[in-house]
Structure 1
Amino acid sequence: MKSPLDITDEPRFYLQEQMQEHLRDHYLELTPDTKFVRWLRDNPRHPRNWPTNRKIYDTALICLLDLVITASSTAGAAAASQARHEYKVGHTFATFCFVTLFLLGQCVGTIVFPPWTESFGRKKLYIISSALSCACCIVIGTVNSLPVAIVMRVIAGLVSAVPGNIVGGSIEDLFNSQARVWAIYWWTVASNIGLIVGPIMSSHIVAYLNWRWVFYIYAIVMGIITGLLFFIRESRSSLLLTAEVEVLRRQIEGIPPALNHDHMPTMRTFMKEHLFRPAQLFCGEPIVFTISMIISVVMSLIYMFTEAMPIVYQSMGFTRPQASLMFLAIGLGTCLSAFTRMLDSQIINKRRRKGLPIRPEDKLVGLGIGAPILAISLWWFGWTIPPLIQSPSIPWIVPTVSLIFVGFSLTEIDTVLYGYISDSYLSYSASATAAVGFFRGLLSGVFPLFTKQMFHGLGSNFAMSILAGVATVFCIVPPLFLCYGERIRRRSRFAAYSWEIQSEMGKDDSDL
Structure 2
Amino acid sequence: MRSRSHDSTRADLSRPSRSVTQEGRDVSHKGYVKFESALQPVHEGLPDLLKDPEKARTIKDLYLVTWLENDPEDPRNWSPVWRWYLTLVSALAVISVAFASAVITGDFEGIEEEFQVGEVVTALSVSLMVCGFGLGPLVISPLSELYGRRPLWVIPTFLYLIFNIPCALAKNIQTLLICRFFCGIFASGPLTLAGSTISDIWDNNERGFAIALFAAAPYGGAALGPLVGGFIGVTVGWRWILWVNMIFAGVVFLFCLTIPETFAPVLLQKRAAKLRSKTGRDDIVTEQEIFRTSFADLITDTLVRPFGMLVTEPILLLMSLFIALIYGLLYAFFFSFPVVFGEDYGYNNGITGLMFCSVFIGLGIALCITPLLEKSYLKQAEKKGGRADPEDRLLGSMIGAPFVPIALFIFGWTSPPAVMPGGGNWVGPASAGIPFGFGMVVIYFSANAYLIDAFPNYVASALAAKTVVRSGAGAAMPLFMVQMFHGLGNGWAASLLGFVSVAMIPIPFLFYRYGRAIRARSKRATLI
TM over 0.5: yes
Instruction: Encode CA deviations 1:412-444: one digit per residue, 9 max, x unaligned.
Output: 111111222334445753443222111111121
Correspondence 1:181 to 2:181: no
Query: Which residue identity lines up with residue 298 of structure 1 in the other structure?
Result: I
| Offset, 1:67 | 0.3
1:85 matched to 2:89? no
| RMSD between superposed Cα atoms in Å | 2.7
Counterpart of 2:452 (choices 419, 422, 436) is 422
Of 345-354 and 417-426, deviating more is 345-354
**In the alignment, which residue of structure 1 is the partner of 2:413?**
383
Q: Distance in 2 between matches of 1:439 and 1:329?
A: 27
Distance across 2 between alignment mates of 1:91 and 1:448: 9
1:162 paired residue among 164, 189, 195: 189
The Cα of 1:155 is off from its aligned counterpart by 0.8
1:391-410 to structure 2, matched below 5 A, reads 395-410=425-440
| Unaligned 5+ runs, structure 1 | 1-22, 500-512
In structure 2, do the counterparts of structure 1 residues 26 and 212 end up closer, same or farther at CA, with 3 Å as the change threshold? farther
**In structure 2, do the counterparts of structure 1 residues 332 and 141 end up closer, same or farther at CA, with 3 Å as the change threshold?**
same
Match of 1:373 in 2: 403
| Aligned amino acid, residue 330 of structure 1 | V
Amino acid paired to 2:511? F
**What letter is aligned with 1:223?**
G
Cα 1:183–1:493 change in 2 (3 A) is farther
Separation of aligned partners in 2, 1:335 and 1:46: 32
CA contact (8 A) 2:324 2:473 kept: yes
Distance 1:427 1:81 in 2: 48
User: How far 1:316 sits from its partner (Å)?
Assistant: 2.7
The separation in 2 between residues aligned to 1:428 and 1:179, in whole angstroms, is 23
Q: Which residue of 2 aligns with 1:132?
A: 159
Deviation at 1:40, TM superposition (A): 5.0
Match of 2:493 in 1: 463
Tell me if the contact between 1:115 and 1:277 (Cα under 8 Å) persists in the aligned partners: no
1:281 Cα deviation (Å)?
3.9
1:260 aligns to what SS in structure 2?
helix
8 Å Cα contact 2:359-2:436 kept in structure 1? yes
For the residue of structure 2 that corresponds to 1:60, the secondary structure is: helix
Q: Distance in 2 between matches of 1:424 and 1:401?
A: 35
Pick the aligned partner of 1:324 from 350, 353, 378: 353
Q: Does 1:219 align with 2:249?
A: no
Q: Is the 8 A contact 2:316 2:451 kept in 1?
A: yes
Aligned to 2:514: 484
The answer as to whether partners of 2:143 and 2:295 remain within 8 angstroms in 1 is no
Letter in 1 for 2:145: E
Q: Contact between 1:78 and 1:199, CA under 8 Å: does it hold in 2?
A: yes
The 8 Å contact of residues 28 and 43 in structure 1, kept in 2 or not, is answered as: no
Identity of aligned residues (%): 27
How far apart in 1 are the matches of 2:85 and 2:460? Answer: 20
Q: Does the residue aligned with 1:231 lie in a helix, a strand or coil?
A: coil
Question: Which deviates further from its counterpart, 71-80 or 214-223?
Answer: 71-80
1:60 matched residue in structure 2? 88
State the partner residue of 2:17.
none
- What is residue 228 of structure 1 aligned with on the other side? 255
- Aligned residue number for residue 283 of structure 2: 255
Does 60-69 or 313-322 show the bigger shift? 313-322
| Residues 102 and 157 in structure 1, CA contact (< 8 A), matched pair in contact too | yes
Cα shift at 1:303: 1.1
Matched, 1:105 2:132: yes
- The whole-number CA distance in structure 1 between the counterparts of 2:524 and 2:425 is 52
CA distance in 2, matches of 1:424, 1:240: 28
Helix, strand or coil for the counterpart of 1:178? Answer: coil
Identify the structure with bigger relative contact order (alpha carbons < 8 Å, sequence gap 6+). 1
Distance between the aligned counterparts of 1:404 and 1:420, measured in 2?
A: 24
Aligned equivalent of 2:122: 94
Displacement after TM superposition at 1:34 (Å): 4.9
Deviation of residue 329 (structure 1)? 0.3
Shift of 1:187: 1.0
Q: Which amino acid aligns with 2:431?
A: V
- Counterpart among 21, 29, 33 of residue 29 in structure 1: 33
Equivalents in 2 of 1:236, 1:495: separation in Å?
A: 25
Residue deviations 1:104-129 (CA, integer Å, cap 9, x gap):
22222132222322333222111122
What secondary structure is seen at the aligned counterpart in 2 of 1:386?
coil
Whether 1:142 and 2:169 are equivalent positions in the alignment is yes
Distance 2:290 2:362 in 1: 39
Encode CA deviations 1:111-151: one digit per residue, 9 max, x unaligned: 22223223332221111222112111122113423332222
Q: CA deviation at 1:199?
A: 0.8
- The CA deviation at 1:164 is 1.7
* Post-superposition offset of 1:42: 3.9
Per-residue CA shift, 1:197-233, capped at 9, x if unaligned?
1011111111001211111111112112222222212
User: 2:285 aligned with 1:265, yes or no?
Assistant: no
Distance 2:79 2:291 in 1: 27
The letter for the 2-side match of 1:295 is: I
Is 2:404–2:440's contact at 8 Å kept on the other side of the alignment?
yes
Task: Report the residue type matching 1:350 in the other structure.
Answer: K
User: What letter corresponds to residue 176 of structure 1 in structure 2?
Assistant: D
SS of the equivalent of 1:418 reads helix
Q: Is the 8 A contact 1:376 1:468 kept in 2?
A: yes
- Code of the aligned partner of 2:418: L
Alignment partner of 2:33: what SS?
strand
Structure 1 partner of 2:337: 309
SS across alignment from 1:117: helix
Aligned to 2:321: 293
Q: Helix, strand or coil: the match of 2:388?
A: coil
2:232 corresponds to 1:205: yes
Offset, 1:82: 1.2
TM-score, normalisation: structure 1? 0.85
Q: Is the 8 A contact 1:118 1:430 kept in 2?
A: no
Total equivalences in the alignment: 475
Selected match of 1:246 from 235, 256, 273: 273
| Corresponding letter in the other structure for 2:102 | T
- Give TM-score scaled by structure 2 length: 0.83
Counterpart of 2:365 in structure 1 is 336
Moved more, 234-243 or 319-328: 234-243
**Kept after mapping to 2: 8 A contact 1:248/1:255:** no
Give the secondary structure class of the aligned counterpart of 2:480.
helix
- Residue from 358, 362, 385 that aligns with 2:392: 362
Deviates more, 1:118-127 or 1:322-331: 118-127
Return 78-87 or 328-337, whichever deviates more.
78-87
Which residue is equivalent to 2:469? 439
Structure 1 residue 492 displacement after superposition: 4.9
CA displacement, residues 431-484 of structure 1 (integer Å, 9 cap, x when unaligned): 432221111111211111111110001111111111111111111112222223
